């Protein structure tokens, strides 16, 4: 699936509540949920890498 569609479905899942998700239909529910989980996981990985880089920079900065 193209990244643009994943982002689109993830955005819809992010702003939709449970009642709205029931109205979406059974065909798009798993797709929207999977897109949201994929996007959230990518964001979490980005945050972890950013924290690691900052921590590494702080450690190397204090050694010099």
Nearest to 17 by CA among 35, 32, 38, 2: 32
Alpha-helix residue ranges (DSSP H) falling in the chain: 3-15, 18-24, 29-63
Model pTM above 0.75: no
Average pLDDT, the chain: 88
- Total of domains in the chain: 1
Residue 35 and residue 41: Cα distance in Å, rounded? Answer: 10
Which structural domain range is residue 31 located in? 3-63
Give the pLDDT score at 47.
97
Residue 62 pLDDT grade (very low, low, confident, very high; cuts 50, 70, 90): low
The 10 Å Cβ neighbour count of residue 41 is 10
pLDDT tens digits along 28-45: 888 888 989 999 999 999
């Amino acid at each position: 699936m193209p990244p643009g569609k994943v982002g689109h479905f993830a955005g819809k899942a992010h702003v939709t509540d449970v009642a709205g998700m029931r109205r979406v239909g059974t065909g798009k529910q798993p797709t929207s949920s999977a897109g949201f989980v994929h996007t959230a996981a990518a964001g979490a990985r980005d945050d972890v890498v950013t924290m690691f880089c900052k921590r590494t920079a702080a450690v190397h900065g204090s050694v010099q």
